Amino acid sequence: MPRFIKIFLDRFKEYIVLILFLIASLSLISLNENPKVKNLRVFSLGIFASLNSFISNTYDATSNNNYVQQLEKRNAELMLQVNKLRKYGLEHERLNKIFEFVNTRKSDLVVARIVSRLVSKISGYFIISKGSKEGIEKGMPVVTDQGLVGLVIDVANDYSSVRTYENSLFKVAVKNERSNVNGILNWNGRKLVISNVPTTEDMEVGDKIIVSELSSIIPPAIPIGKIVDKESTISGILSNIIVEPYTKINNLKTVIVVKTIRNLQLDSLELNLIRRN
């Protein structure tokens, strides 16, 4: 017999004998049909199963906890990436619309970013990123691919100030595209209104309002918005036409300057004639 086996048996013979007896005892218990032994066997099996289940669940909880945390972290990373890609997608779509609008217009157009909103919304002004270096001058209309935004009122080398339609000083001659009824559109502090339109005129909710040929400041046919309501005045023979603009000022990041200037004095005379009529 090899020496290391003899040494092993000498050191652990008591344990080996104990294990052999335990195995024999368990074998005899499993084969014994005595009711008491059966109960003991069932009880022992239940304890063993419970301990095994507890140990397994503890191990699984410990091992799965790290795995779940890694999954949650990865999901959060993917969510942030998806949101960023969605933002880029929306920006790409918006810029594509602007470039398509620029390419389909015959006028000389300049795309500019809104760089500052230094005053409150009630004032109706903002500053854009293009100025006289790009050929922008006072009086040039500002639009988007959806419609009218405002008018350039002051110009520096690299920047320009824009008065938007949300300003009480901004007035423009407009007409109903369907019925050709003319009027003067202005901001009353809360909404765009074509004031004092005779109730006999053909102005219906849903009609499209565009810049009129009577306007000498802004090129005609630029869309502005649609009629959403008609409010009768106290006399009952006149109406105030409420117009919802197509372009939402608060959502704007980029605008387009139309490089054309029309006769401001002529426009003033024409507006006075409209008011008299």
CA separation, residue 21 to residues 7, 34, 134 (Å) = 22, 20, 100
Domain that holds residue 262: 108-277
Cα–Cα distance for residue pair 149/165, rounded to 1 Å: 6
pLDDT for 189 equals: 86
Q: What is the pLDDT of residues 100-123, one digit of tens each?
A: 655 555 558 889 999 987 655 557
Decide if 80 is inside a domain. Answer: no
Residues 103, 108, 109, CA angle at the centre, nearest 5°?
A: 65
Specify whether 39 is located in the same domain as 112: no
pLDDT for 275 equals: 43
pLDDT for 270 equals: 46
pLDDT for 168 equals: 86
Specify whether 165 is located in the same domain as 230: yes
pLDDT band at 277 (very low <50, low <70, confident <90, very high): very low
pLDDT of 205 > 90? The answer is yes
pLDDT band at 271 (very low <50, low <70, confident <90, very high): very low
Number of domains composing the chain: 2
Cα–Cα distance for residue pair 72/50, rounded to 1 Å: 31
Decide if 81 is inside a domain. Answer: no
Whether the Cβ atoms of residue 202 and residue 185 lie closer than 8 Å to each other? no
Q: What is the pLDDT of residues 212-256, one digit of tens each?
A: 888 877 888 889 999 999 998 877 789 999 999 999 888 888 899
Cα–Cα distance for residue pair 186/241, rounded to 1 Å: 11
- Residue 251 main-chain phi, psi, to 5 deg: -90, -5
Mean pLDDT of the chain: 76
| Domain-terminating residue out of 45, 61, 77 | 61
Decide if 84 is inside a domain. Answer: no
59-90 b/e (C-beta count within 10 Å ≥ 16 → b): eeeeeeeeeeeeeeeeeeeeeeeeeeeeeeee
Higher-scoring residue by pLDDT: 229, 60: 229
Percent of the chain with pLDDT over 90: 32
Specify whether 140 is located in the same domain as 236: yes
Decide if 83 is inside a domain. Answer: no
| Domain-terminating residue out of 23, 43, 61 | 61
Higher-scoring residue by pLDDT: 107, 198: 198
pLDDT for 218 equals: 82
Percent of the chain with pLDDT over 70: 57
pLDDT for 234 equals: 74
Interval 79-86 mean pLDDT: 68
Decide if 195 is inside a domain. Answer: yes
Q: By CB neighbour count within 10 A (0-12 exposed, 13-18 middle, 19+ buried), where does 176 fall?
A: buried
Specify whether 113 is located in the same domain as 54: no
Decide if 127 is inside a domain. Answer: yes
Cα–Cα distance for residue pair 189/168, rounded to 1 Å: 7
Specify whether 131 is located in the same domain as 43: no
Decide if 71 is inside a domain. Answer: no
What is the C-alpha R_g of the chain? 41
Specify whether 202 is located in the same domain as 261: yes
Mean pLDDT lowest for which of 95-104, 180-189, 212-221?
95-104
Please count the CA atoms within 13 angstroms of the CA of 131 that sit on its side-chain side. Answer: 11
Domain harbouring 136, CATH code: 2.40.10.340
Specify whether 120 is located in the same domain as 212: yes
Interval 22-32 mean pLDDT: 60
